[in-house]
A and B are shown apart, each in its own frame.
Chain A
Amino acid sequence: MKRIAFLGAGAVFSLLLALSLGTGQINMMHLGQILTGQGVEKTVILQIRLPRVIAGFVVGSGLSVAGAVLQALLRNPLAESYTLGLSGGASLGLCLGIFLRQHSSLPLFAFAGAMVSLVIILMATYRHHFAGATLVLLGVALNFIFSALVLFWLAVARSERFQQGFFWLVGDLSWVSVKALRVASGLIAAVSLYLVMKARTLDALSLGEEKAATLGISVISVRRAMITAASLLAGCSVALSGVVGFVGLIVPHLVRMITGAVHRRVIPGCFLLGGSFLVLCDGLARVVIRPLELPVGVITGFFGGLFFLFLLLGHRGTKIW
């Protein structure tokens, strides 16, 4: 519990830090002063930075929680939010949206794309009782098919559309729409809460399906519920930011190192650390090559990857998985 509180404090700190970062630098200590007063800076913070910071937080949370769920469900350390073909579906949805010039409803296109993958996966679990590695392979196949179609579109798209598509495909938080943010953050919070309540089921499933069944779990329906929950989380995240990679893969591993492996702590831990992680990455993305901004996916991939590599190589004796 202490460790979750520690992660919570970290989350508050990173939210405040991220609010003060940007083109017009604000001292973190003065945040309270600015917000109680009246000024241009207050408008900048509330209207521009706050939605972006919140979006960063819920996207990071959603991806990390989804990653933790899928790693437990598929008993696979490489599973992440997009494993079941969701990123491919979302990317294709985005490209379709850009092609149709539906710029204001791009979040909807991304979400719909992710859900197409979900429906295909669920249909597969109904027809054949797919589980574990087979599901991962199915997701990989879906991702390849969708990415091929995306690449086809990129190859023939005109340059300004290419640029826009590119930002979405690597993940970017600069075009967050407030309407999408409201819906997506509500959904991410609700699904995460559901997963905290179902956390022990995830522990049981990680023992193998046979054992889980004799512990009183209806494995097949629970598996479908968990796949749906993870997909909703990833779908909402993709709708807000495009495809931000790597967060859903590493954050669950980091959280398990901090809180231990019991999902009652891993899920809240992922929510907090995942959110903080992405908010900080986005803060970095805004200041690294000022006044230009990088898409946040570049930062998560590069610095997240370096950090994780450092952990893997530096942590003598501690196995991550």
Chain B
Amino acid sequence: MVEQGKQNSSALIYVENLTGGYARRKVVDNCSLVVTEGEFLGIIGPNGSGKTTLVRLLLGILKPFSGKIFYRGENVSERSTLELAREISFLPASLETTFPYTVEEFVALGYLPYSFWWANPRQEKKVIRESLSLVQALELASTLIRELSDGEKQRVFLAQALAQTPKLLILDEPTSHLDIGHLYTIMELLKGLNKRQGLTVICILHDLNLASDYCDRLILLRKGKIFQVGTPEEVLQPEIIEAVYHTQVLVFPSPVTGRPHLFGKKMES
């Protein structure tokens, strides 16, 4: 399948035998994968299985020990960070908000890869407005970041990532501390961008049922290796989950989406 992807013109990212990590610790071990243009890809796996590290490698923040990453057929290591920033945008698990920026000023930072002193300020304003309206946060424009609730903050962070006008959006657990309302708001926003604008989305998710509902395909990591790749139906099977998460589950189709949902079996103990 990997070999097919190399020839496939719709392959946005093609990763070959990627190994990487920190100092002396190997975290991602010999991973190969293909990301197709326009897909909604979920990365799942237990804590410490290498999800975030894999994403860091894909983004070029971390240099791989070995292996290659191709973006649109070009080796990522040969492209400048600025070029990549105009194509790929990243929403980390936590963002620092050191200074009292207003929402508008904060979102404007996403436009940085296009903003030079000779750039057209009107175009920048337009992109910021569009990004804010995509996440339904236009009315927050002049509010200070630190005065926002967690849910509003996450929407504004997303707007900043969108102001980068990316072709590929990578998110690291975008729903981790959101209530169920905001959680679905964010996921529906992502789904909408994916469907209507053809934005390719790669999303690390901890909630397997959420991943099942929203992702076209899932990559399941275990100890730095890709354990299983496929549709939610192919990946979320009781024996696979037990092998990776060491917990027994029942799988039933969701009454809403028809996708597999997991139910833990450890209630009585």
| Chain A residues close to B by CB (< 8 Å) | 72, 75, 197, 200, 203-204, 206-208, 210-211, 213-218, 256, 260-262, 319, 321
A216 touches B146 (CB 8 A): no
B92 touches A206 (CB 8 A): no
Q: Which of B95, B105, B112, B146 has the most CB of A within 10 A?
A: B112
* Complex CA distance for A21 and B261, rounded to whole angstroms: 79
Q: Is B164 an interface residue (CB 8 A)?
A: yes
Report chain B residues within 8 Å CB of A75.
96, 98
* Complex CA distance for A121 and B168, rounded to whole angstroms: 37
* Complex CA distance for A218 and B60, rounded to whole angstroms: 11
Given known contacts A204-B112, A319-B146, A261 and B101 CB-to-CB distance under 8 angstroms: yes
B86 touches A262 (CB 8 A): no
A215 touches B98 (CB 8 A): no
* Complex CA distance for A218 and B95, rounded to whole angstroms: 18
Separation in Å of the B25 CB from the closest CB of chain A?
Answer: 16
* Complex CA distance for A206 and B80, rounded to whole angstroms: 21
Separation in Å of the A93 CB from the closest CB of chain B?
Answer: 33
B100 touches A200 (CB 8 A): no
A208 touches B96 (CB 8 A): yes
Given known contacts A204-B112, A261-B101, A216 and B96 CB-to-CB distance under 8 angstroms: no
* Of the residues B56, B96, B110, contact of A215 by C-beta under 8 Å: B110
* Complex CA distance for A14 and B64, rounded to whole angstroms: 56
B109 touches A203 (CB 8 A): yes
Report chain B residues within 8 Å CB of A262.
101, 105
A319 touches B90 (CB 8 A): no
The 7 closest A-B pairs by CB, nearest first: A216-B85, A261-B99, A216-B82, A214-B90, A208-B96, A216-B113, A206-B98
B109 touches A260 (CB 8 A): no
A214 touches B88 (CB 8 A): yes
Given known contacts A214-B90, A215-B109, A72 and B98 CB-to-CB distance under 8 angstroms: yes
A206 touches B146 (CB 8 A): no
* Complex CA distance for A207 and B115, rounded to whole angstroms: 17
Q: Which of B83, B97, B109 has the most CB of A within 10 A?
A: B109
A260 touches B102 (CB 8 A): yes
Q: Is B59 an interface residue (CB 8 A)?
A: yes
| Chain B residues close to A by CB (< 8 Å) | 56, 59-61, 80-86, 88-90, 92, 95-102, 105, 109-110, 112-113, 115, 117, 146, 164
Report chain A residues within 8 Å CB of B56.
210
* Of the residues B85, B105, B112, contact of A260 by C-beta under 8 Å: B105
* Complex CA distance for A197 and B115, rounded to whole angstroms: 11
A200-B112, A261-B101 given. 7 additional CB < 8 A pairs?
A197-B117, A210-B61, A210-B92, A211-B90, A215-B109, A215-B110, A260-B100
Given known contacts A213-B81, A216-B82, A256 and B95 CB-to-CB distance under 8 angstroms: no
* Of the residues B61, B99, B105, B109, contact of A213 by C-beta under 8 Å: B61
B84 touches A216 (CB 8 A): yes
* Of the residues B59, B86, B95, contact of A208 by C-beta under 8 Å: B95
Report chain B residues within 8 Å CB of A215.
85, 109-110, 112-113, 164
Report chain B residues within 8 Å CB of A319.
100, 146
Closest residue on chain B to residue A215 by CB atoms: B112
B95 touches A211 (CB 8 A): yes
B112 touches A261 (CB 8 A): no
Given known contacts A214-B88, A216-B84, A261 and B100 CB-to-CB distance under 8 angstroms: yes
* Complex CA distance for A160 and B78, rounded to whole angstroms: 63
Report chain A residues within 8 Å CB of B88.
214
Report chain A residues within 8 Å CB of B92.
208, 210-211
Closest residue on chain A to residue B60 by CB atoms: A213
* Complex CA distance for A262 and B90, rounded to whole angstroms: 22
Closest residue on chain A to residue B94 by CB atoms: A208
* Complex CA distance for A156 and B148, rounded to whole angstroms: 58
Separation in Å of the B126 CB from the closest CB of chain A?
Answer: 18
B102 touches A216 (CB 8 A): no
* Complex CA distance for A214 and B86, rounded to whole angstroms: 9
Separation in Å of the A57 CB from the closest CB of chain B?
Answer: 26
Subset of 12 A-B contacts with CB under 8 Å:
A200-B112, A203-B99, A207-B97, A208-B92, A211-B90, A215-B109, A216-B84, A216-B86, A217-B81, A261-B99, A261-B105, A262-B101
* Complex CA distance for A200 and B113, rounded to whole angstroms: 10
Separation in Å of the A74 CB from the closest CB of chain B?
Answer: 10
Report chain B residues within 8 Å CB of A206.
96, 98-99
* Complex CA distance for A213 and B4, rounded to whole angstroms: 32
Report chain A residues within 8 Å CB of B81.
213, 216-218
Closest residue on chain A to residue B61 by CB atoms: A213
Q: Which of B84, B101, B102 has the most CB of A within 10 A?
A: B101
Closest residue on chain A to residue B82 by CB atoms: A216
Separation in Å of the A211 CB from the closest CB of chain B?
Answer: 6
Report chain B residues within 8 Å CB of A256.
99-100
* Complex CA distance for A160 and B146, rounded to whole angstroms: 53
A207 touches B100 (CB 8 A): no
Closest residue on chain A to residue B89 by CB atoms: A214
Report chain B residues within 8 Å CB of A217.
81, 112
* Of the residues A72, A200, A213, contact of B115 by C-beta under 8 Å: A200
Separation in Å of the B109 CB from the closest CB of chain A?
Answer: 5
Closest residue on chain A to residue B117 by CB atoms: A197
Separation in Å of the A269 CB from the closest CB of chain B?
Answer: 13
